[in-house]
Amino acid sequence: MSNISVYESKMGKSVQNFKEELDKIRAGRANPHILDKINVEYYGTPTPLNQVANITVPEARMIVLQPWDINTLKLIEKSIQASDLGINPTNDGKVIRIIFPPLTEERRKTLTKEVKKKCEDAKVSIRNIRRDAMDSFKKLQKKNEITEDELNINENKIQKLTDKFVSDIDKITEAKNQEIMTV
């Protein structure tokens, strides 16, 4: 009997990865996760931004960064400006504020297309895991390690898991698109 939980775990990781990808998409609201990719040159070492500053979201459209070492203020500001986020931080000498302008209708539509593409990629990932599982079950059956009935039971279980995870991805996508389109 092949272990279904291995494939279930892989599918779960694909969904988690998809959620993390969506967290990085700016939806008009300030989301500290968009800063996850930014590194600051801290004493010659590229260091994640969240390890050199406290990141808070005091308002829906603002992120405030309070560095633990005040000398890193300019470095943090430069790192954000050099990133591909297209946001301009303001530095008041103590903290850095990032204010997000409201999204235009055109930008919202572009973002929903981006979300849809990520959704399709995530579904393909789930289906690839299903295909690997099915291939694995068929090999076991050919080697007479499982019966044809066990093969059918496993295939049905893996299909149910696939349907469940694809449905989860659809729900997550719908919620993200709703968030993007809300003015």
Helix (H, G, I), strand (E, B) or coil at 58: strand
Q: How far apart are CA 183 and CA 11, in angstroms?
A: 33
At 109, which amino acid appears?
A: K
Confidence (pLDDT) at 31: 76
How far from 144 is each of 69, 138, 139, 149, CA to CA, in Å? 64, 10, 9, 12
Bigger pLDDT: 142 vs 30: 142
Q: How far apart are CA 72 and CA 52, in angstroms?
A: 8
What is the band of 2 on the pLDDT scale with cuts at 50, 70, 90?
Answer: low
Assess contact for 87 and 80: CB atoms under 8 A: yes
pLDDT digits (tens, 9 = 90+) for 120-177: 999 999 999 999 999 999 999 999 899 999 999 999 999 999 999 999 999 999 999 9
Q: How far apart are CA 88 and CA 64, in angstroms?
A: 12
Does position 183 have pLDDT exceeding 70, yes or no? no
Domains, the chain, ranges and CATH? Answer: 4-23+104-181 (1.10.132.20), 32-99 (3.30.1360.40)
End-to-end CA distance of the chain: 52
